[in-house]
Amino acid sequence: MAAEDLGEPLALRAGPSGPGATITPGRVSKRARNSGGTIGGADSAPGACRTTTTASSRGTTHWAVCARSATASAETGGSAVNRSMRRLRRRRISPAAYRRASVHPAVVAAAISSRCRKNASPKAETGRGPGDPAAVGQRLGRCVRDAVGEDPHIVFEHVGRATCGVSVFVARRGGTVVTCGSSTGYRHEFDNRHPWRRLKRIIGSHGADLHEQAAVHRLLDLGRLRPALTTTYPLHETAEAARLVQRNLHLGKVGVLALAPRPGLGARNGARQSRARGAAPERTRRTHVIWRSTMRIFVTGATGYIGGSLADRLRGTGHDVSGLARTEEKARALRERGITPVLGDLDDARVLGAAARAADAVVNAADSDHRPAVEALVAALAGTGKPLLHTSGSSIVADDARGAVSQRVFTETDVEPGGPWRAEPDKAPRVDLDRFVLAAAERGVRSVVLCNSLIYGHGYGLSRDSVQLPRLARQAEASGVARHIGPGHNIWSNVHIDDVADLYELALASAPAGAFYFVENGEAPFGELTQAIADVLGCGAARPWGIEAAIEEWGYEPAVYALGSNSRVRGARARAELGWTPRYDDAVEWIRKRLTSEESG
């Protein structure tokens, strides 16, 4: 499976299963469509080709997947779909049940069996033998068109000599044949008029290396890929399961329960179990994956709150993390935590560029408004396809409310360029910088903007405190009075630091280039947040504060836009595209239970 530039359409791909077959839903790489990408896999069930169709916001795309046969259908004129249906019926598995098993919106080609049977006769192709590639291709093409309405855009050719001519024939005009195996012989024969006159392409693909397999495993763990399970046997019926595979009577995986008394007990994590039982997350945008089992990740802000927590998470999962440090003291502290220090600051473009080029991925978590640093990182990563995660903040939609409530709630669509929304003048430079990062996708950078709301929870790195709640707590401790700006009715969306780190990990793995995500899971008025702080610290009732006094205490930007404004956002896109499932949803409860805790999180 290609480890980068995964494209939109879903497809079925064939994979090895001894003498049998395995069909699992996968994603078709953009590289495969354009210049030679790969979906891993080798041999599949007997027959010429299967088809699948997918629907998305960009239209409907259809695919054919060629499969192995010891006596290939190109030679015998047999119908792969007919045989597939017969195997399904012998196992009493309906096409509808098979489609439900695969979960993704791919439609299994076996559902077209009746029409394929009707059209399978070679008599229509006058002057051609039943095994002629053009004759077989015409019959198969009719089956595909009857089922999905048009010819396949991409044909995965796993079989080799026996079916290559059919694969080249059946691909649509301008389509692509991806050759990834030669089970029946390496010398392929096809009619060269099809690539020549009909602008078809034949490209090679190598399967999958260890890093790409790790990417697939991660997508499986996230519930983004769902293997099709034909049936499950108890341990004492293992021989029967083996015979099923040996006789090639299955379509999909065959499971054997070893010590488990029943299926469904393999995943202990609740969210993982629900993903396994339920439908896969909705896919609405293109997805790219260059997640490696071990990556070199450069983090700016590694000595700070967000960057430090993320660096600690990434190091703990086995990645090689380097972090920017301004002083030797900070560098030593990072080194003690297993993070490789990079001595420099955000104004040193040479240091930033060298560190970015040496890394597999970059996370900018140091300063949401430092444009020279972002420009240096983008310049270093241009043309590499590496991910650049830029940290922004939802104060971009904040208003000058001074403690009054607003009912305006923003989604990612609301803040896209070209819409009517305009940021407050004080926040316009940050919005421009966010859009500069997103535009880097056109320069060959997998650039992503994560726009965090109010973050709570104690940090895991060198810096323990976030921005907003600690300011309120320190002021309350110093004065003995907890204060909110104005009436305290202003509302901010919020998110826990653990959920933030989860989303950054997911974005590194599979966020598409040019993606923008609001990061939130709940909201609360500042009056309630401040009162919870007052209760924990024993300060009595929280009191309102005028904006002038607040500006004198905290400064203009923190007082007006971080503590006195409304910033209400909804982060549906991260849930839909990346499968993000935040675990914490109550900042007020966290304050009451964890504000004074010495532990992280």
SS3 of 402-437: the string is CCCCCCCCECCHHHCCCCCCCCCHHHHHHHHHHHHH
Residues counted in the chain: 601
Is pLDDT of 80 > 80?
no
For 286-329, the pLDDT digits (tens) are 333 334 457 899 999 999 999 999 999 999 888 899 999 999 99
Task: Assign 226 a pLDDT band (cuts: 50, 70, 90).
Answer: low
Is 86 or 400 the better-scoring residue by pLDDT?
Answer: 400
Least confident residue range of 9-18, 331-340, 398-407? 9-18
Show the domains of the chain with their CATH numbers. 6-277 (no CATH), 296-594 (3.40.50.720)
Per the prediction, the chain carries an average pLDDT of 76
Does residue 40 register a pLDDT over 70?
no
Beta bridge partners of 388: 362, 447
**pLDDT on residue 198:** 87
Q: What is the pLDDT of residues 582-592, one digit of tens each?
A: 999 999 999 99
- What contacts 24+ positions apart, CB below 8 Å, involve 344-348? 346/300, 346/370, 346/372, 346/373, 347/372, 347/373
The larger pLDDT score, comparing residue 38 to residue 470, is at 470
> Where is pLDDT greater, at 357 or 90?
357
**How many C-beta atoms surround the C-beta of residue 383 within 10 A?**
8
For residue 403, the model assigns a pLDDT of 94
Residue 359 pLDDT more than 70?
yes
Q: Confidence class of residue 258 from pLDDT cuts 50, 70 and 90?
A: confident
Q: What is the pLDDT of residue 498?
A: 94
Residue 450: pLDDT band with limits 50, 70, 90: very high
268 pLDDT higher than 60 = no
pLDDT at 78 over 80: no
Residues of the chain with pLDDT > 70, as a percent, come to 70
Stretch 34-47: mean pLDDT: 35
pLDDT of residue 115: 38
Q: What is the mean pLDDT of residues 5-31?
A: 34
- Mean pLDDT, residues 258-284 taken together: 55
Does the pLDDT value for residue 399 go beyond 70?
A: yes
Query: Rounded to 5 degrees, what angle do the CA atoms 6, 150, 183 make?
Result: 60
Highest mean pLDDT of the ranges 45-54, 84-93, 447-456: 447-456
| DSSP code per residue over 145-193 | HHHHSS--SEEEE-S-TTTHHHHHHHSPTT-EEEE---TT-S-----TH
pLDDT at 370 over 90: yes
Q: How far apart are CA 429 and CA 431, in angstroms?
A: 5
Predicted pLDDT of residue 145: 82
Distance CA 258, CA 235 (A): 5
pLDDT at 601: 87
pLDDT digits (tens, 9 = 90+) for 120-179: 443 333 445 556 778 888 888 888 887 778 888 888 888 888 888 889 998 999 899 988
pLDDT at 552: 93
In this predicted structure, what is the pLDDT of residue 548?
Answer: 94
Measure Cα distances from 248 to 17, 19, 216, 239 in Å: 10, 7, 25, 14
User: Which pLDDT does position 139 carry in this prediction?
Assistant: 84
pLDDT at 460: 94
- Res. 429: pLDDT tops 90: yes
The C-alpha atoms of residue 69 and residue 163 are separated, in whole angstroms, by: 9
